[in-house]
Structure 1
Amino acid sequence: MVLQTSRRSLLKAAAGVAVLPALPSVAQASAAAAFKHPGLLHTQADFDRIAAGVQAGAQPYKAGWEKLVANGRSRSTWKARPLETVVRGGTGQNYPQLYNDIHAAYQNALRWKISGEKAHGDAARDILNAWSGTLKAITGNADRFLAAGIYGYQAANAAELMRGYAGFDVERFQKMLLNVFYPVNDSFLRNHNGACITNYWANWDLCTMASVMAIGLFCDDQAKFDRAVDYFKNGKGNGSIMNAIPFLHPGGLAQWQESGRDQAHTVMGIGLIGTIAEMAWNQGADLYGYADNRIMKAAEYVAKYNLGHDVPFTTYKWGHGQNCAAREQTVISSAARGQDRPVWELLYNHYANRRGLAVPYTKAYAERVRAEGGGGDFGPNSGGFDQLGFGTLLFTRAAAGSGGSGGLLPTGVTRVLQSINLPKEGIAASGALGVLGEAVPLRIVPGLADAKGYSFMDEDGRYLRHKDYRLRFDTDNGTELFERDATFLARPGGATGRVRLESLNYPGRFIRHRHQQLWLDKAQDTSAFRADSTFRPASS
């Protein structure tokens, strides 16, 4: 494979979108511009990493890219077929036109973001504009809720990649999501189609939650994002985490709610809950780790069984229909056991590579499906389009502690940064200013401006950054300057487990403490300066 673009043009094309300001939400959300864009399933740091890997021909990026290019929906010649009314369930079904076009928009958007090829950007824009200018309703039998959920979160993710692209009518697309998709999502979460709260399987809630979260993020509507997070934690339906994953078993396994139903829907559910967790993670909310990594334990359970191993099963009981008639499942279902879906790379790369946790069965399943394809690669029916896919290309990342600046720091973990010459103190905050004091927990993430570096986020979602050479804790304002100010390169600190943090955009200047304040100072070849600018990452 040879791309007819340089690495520099790849990164420039990808980065060009990130610095454009988000348009105001048509919902007039109180927290407009509070979210980072792009910031649903993918961030700009992700695309920088992906573009560099593809241009270098590095595996498995190369194989993932080739999988994307081979998919017919990623061709720039794809033409949309928009409908005024989408029907799923009952008579007159026509919803395949919607999911095929959404996946074509997403795949073309990916090709543009990674390669910078304008023809693919134009194709994605035109598909999205065609639908936002035409679609007025989603209807059908109860399956209309699945259509509004699955294709709602997918449409928002495709559109997020095109935010700021010339000619893309972002406000009209926001209106379509808010006026066509969201009301159906809202109705389901409120009354579950008039049925018993436990009647609908976890997938119904999960796809709806994913759509509400994605629409909230795309429309800068904090209330909708918060609603999805709250439902994930506290909802009464089967999609909330303690209902979707009702039983813990020995050996780090947790039973999925649909395991007694069939494995196709079980794997679909694992993919949906991973999608929700990834979108939340990219906005600073850790749902992956909620309830002691409960999602991870469910993924291991599902992967283990579908790889052919035995797993324990607790009898599952629930209420069915409008009157909550008693039902139960006493054994795990073997229906569709071993079915491949593109859900595993996302989960594997988060838990194993971001977090450094052992997930042997999730890893084995990711390796089995690698390189993951997307819509159209897993069958022609709707089940083959339940996930956006291409996880090998999109979610592959270096293992925690092995990438970025020589692997001196892990990412996706929380640490305090202790001073080595004043070991009872470390990097802390006094209001917005960085100081040396009782060290505060900081989540270490790939650098906002360069994935080879690091950024540090406090528990309030503020990033450590420099301004006028003082260190501060500020909320990301989405500008390229902020991202560069908040990105640091890790340098050896003179002994194992110690680091010095050099500014990305002011090379030769390091974070150091003086007079209990944190400054970005020019390096000095003295033992005093080296001690003042050296920190030890420690578990908080």
Structure 2
Amino acid sequence: MNRRDNAHRSPHDAALSRRRLLKGTALGAGVLAVPGITYAATVDSGATKAGAKAKAAALAHPGMLHSADDFARMAEKVKAGTEPWKSGWERLTANAHSAAGWTPRPLETVVRGGAGSNYPQLYKDIHAAYQNALRWKVSGDTAHADTARDILNAWSGKLKEVTGNADRFLASGIYGYQFANAAEIMRGYDGFDLGRFQDMMARVFYPLCDHFLKNHNGACITNYWANWDLCNMAAVMAIGILNDDQAKFDQAVDYFHNGEGNGSLAHAVPFLHDGGLAQWQESGRDQGHTVMGIGLMGTICEMAHKQGTDLYGADDNRFMKACEYVAKYNSGSDVPFRTYEWGSGQNCKPMQQTVISAAGRGQARPVWERVYHHYHYRKGHATPNISAIARKQSPEGGGGDFGPNSGGYDELGFGTLAYVLEA
């Protein structure tokens, strides 16, 4: 699919190119549409907006992927040597990124995509900061806290720009939400310059995320796969929490329910099937990106949950049904597939996928413990396929455990340690 950088195009042309192929169609209340797709029951946008406005104004801290109660549970279980937390902890301590004394390599300009790409320096340092912060919270060893602090301070003191071809928007989203999560853990730690870090996130990462969600790089609104929207939604939400910026948090929540792009719930999960299953938008593309999408939406839902906003349960647990679908197929069973149609490039060239893709089927990614323990243990839902794949892939590792390339760092991971609620 065409991913060309269209930043040179005029705002008028960019706006025109984003219009959907469906014009003049009267849509019923709460129904969203893209070319060739009619959506089943979705959330009511009016009710969603009212609910977002009604939530408490104060943002909770720590309040992204982990709360104070989560850290207390992890520490207690690891100290007692209780499984599976013990095995999850061992995955973390075995990872080279979690070693105290990691030396950061900050850059003024990070480039992802095109000439001069250097972004691995950023994502490796982010994962080192996160893993050391997590080790500190569980063990109490301040050598890890000092390491995480020093990495974060080094980057906030130097980074001025994230750029590149269209992939710069993947960098703003993926590394934006991950960086913010590492910083949230270190909030209040002696010597951590939170204010300078908050400024970096608002100045360097947020504008790219906001621009992508509003303009989609000047392309047809359906051109970019769900994961492009989702990573930028996750970053906007995380930056909102880190910076105590309610408007940014609400922006991400509103986009989840009402966004025009493929990251909003109704577009990321376009078709409902029998048997409690729902088709993921990238299922006809490949399973690596499909599972990545499950991880990104799970990240958004978990961060919102920590702030008292339920996205997991939106539209009658639509996301849970997508998780069941993806888990079932990636565990080796057949699932139904409905032809997916969309418009690509700048001019919405018609495209379609008629079969589910087997590319990357069955690969391990650390995304399942989080959704499994929310839906099955917090909410008591039957999740046979999610449960099976979560148990098969436990204990989950993190960045550096799933290959040397950027895809192996798309998730912060360590879900067995961080998200398991009951053994």
User: Which one of the candidate residues 107, 121, 130 is aligned to 1:106?
Assistant: 130
Alignment correspondent of 1:241: 265
Instruction: Give the TM-score of the pair, scaled to structure 2.
Output: 0.86
Distance 1:297 1:345 in 2: 16
Measured after TM superposition, the shift of residue 398 of structure 1 is 2.7
In 2, the alpha carbon distance for the partners of 1:257 and 1:372 equals 25
Alignment of 1:231-270 (within 5 A): 231-270=255-294
State the alpha-carbon separation in 2 of the partners of residues 212 and 379 from structure 1: 27
2:102 maps to what in 1?
78
Cα distance, 1:77 vs structure 2: 1.6
List per-residue Cα deviations over 1:470-525 (Å, max 9, x = no partner).
xxxxxxxxxxxxxxxxxxxxxxxxxxxxxxxxxxxxxxxxxxxxxxxxxxxxxxxx
Which of 250, 254, 257 in structure 2 is aligned with 1:226? 250
Q: Mark the runs of 5 or more structure 1 residues left unpaired by the alignment.
A: 1-30, 400-540
Aligned to 2:112: 88
SS for the counterpart of 1:47 is helix
Q: Is it true that 1:48 corresponds to 2:48 in the alignment?
A: no
SS at match of 1:288: coil
- Deviation of the 1:33 alpha carbon: 7.7
Correspondence for 1:216 among 240, 253, 266 = 240
Matched, 1:375 2:406: no
Is contact 1:200–1:238 with CA below 8 Å preserved after alignment?
A: yes
Whether contact under 8 Å (1:71, 1:377) holds in the other structure is yes
Deviations 1:93-142 (A, max 9, x none): 00000000000000000000111101000000000000000000000000
Query: Where does residue 122 of structure 1 map in the other structure?
Result: 146
The aligned residue for residue 363 of structure 2 is: 339
2:409 matched to which residue of 1?
385
Determine if contact 1:148/1:184 at 8 Å carries over to the other structure. yes
Q: Which has the higher strand share?
A: 1
1:180 aligns with 2:180: no
- 2:313 aligned with 1:295, yes or no? no
Matches within 5 A, 1:328-367: 328-367=352-391
Deviation per residue, 1:354-398 (Å, 9 max, x gap): 111111111111111100000000000000000000000000103
Q: CA deviation at 1:32?
A: 11
Q: Is the 8 A contact 1:125 1:168 kept in 2?
A: yes
Quote the residue 1:526 is aligned against: none
CA–CA distance in structure 1, aligned partners of residues 197 and 186 of structure 2: 11
Alignment of 1:65 with 2:59, yes or no, is no
User: What is the aligned residue count?
Assistant: 369
Query: What one-letter code is carried by the residue in structure 1 that aligns with 2:60?
Result: K
Q: Secondary structure at the match of 1:280?
A: helix
Partner of 1:512: none
Structure number with greater Rg is: 1
SS of structure 2 residue aligned to 1:187: helix
**In 2: Cα distance, 1:362 partner to 1:91 partner:** 40
Cα contact 1:129–1:168 (8 A) shared by 2: yes
Contact 2:110 2:161 survives alignment (8 Å) = yes
TM-score, normalization: structure 1? 0.68
Question: Which amino acid in 2 is paired with 1:370?
Answer: S
Paired position in structure 1 for 2:296: 272
Per-residue Cα deviation, 1:283-342 (whole angstroms, up to 9, x for no partner): 000000000001100000000000110000000000000000100000000000011100
Calculate percent identity across the aligned residue pairs: 70
Q: Following the alignment from structure 2 to structure 1, what is the Cα–Cα distance between the partners of residues 211 and 252?
A: 14
Equivalent runs, 1:389-468 vs 2, <5 Å:
389-398=413-422
Alpha-carbon distance in 1 for matches of 2:295, 2:248:
21
Q: Residue type matched to 1:271 in 2?
A: G
What residue number does 1:205 align with?
229
Contact kept in structure 2, 1:32 and 1:222, CA below 8 Å: no
Matches within 5 A, 1:475-494: none
Q: Which portions of structure 1, spanning 4 or more consecutive aligned residues, are displaced by more than 4 angstroms? A: none
What secondary structure sits across from 1:254 in the alignment? strand
Give the SS at the match of 1:214.
Answer: helix
8 Å contact 1:33–1:220 — kept in the other structure? no
Q: What does residue 179 of structure 2 align with?
A: 155
What is residue 8 of structure 1 aligned with on the other side?
none
Instruction: Check the 8 A contact 2:133/2:182 in 1, yes or no.
Output: yes
- Cα-to-partner distance string for 1:161-199 (whole Å, 9 max, x where unaligned): 000000000000000000000010011011000000000
More helix by share: 2
Q: How many Å separate the matches in 2 of 1:281 and 1:186? A: 22
SS in 1 for 2:110: strand
Query: CA–CA distance in 1 between the matches of 2:379 and 2:81?
Result: 26
For the residue of structure 2 that corresponds to 1:317, the secondary structure is strand
Paired residues of 1:237 and 1:243 also in contact (CA < 8 A): yes
Partner of 1:407: none
Q: For residues 285 and 251 of structure 1, what CA distance do their matches in structure 2 show?
A: 27
Q: Which amino acid aligns with 1:369?
A: Q
The CA RMSD measured in Å over matched residues stands at 1.1
Task: Check 1:33–1:72 CA distance in 2 against 1; reply closer, same or farther (3 A cut).
Answer: farther
2:351 aligned counterpart, secondary structure: strand
Aligned amino acid, residue 415 of structure 2 = G
Give the direction of change, closer, same or farther, for the CA distance of 1:390–1:266 in structure 2 (3 Å limit): same
State the one-letter code of the partner of 2:67: T
* Contact map agreement 2:127 2:399 (CA 8 A) in 1: yes
Consecutive unaligned residues of structure 2, counting only runs of 5 or more, are: 1-54
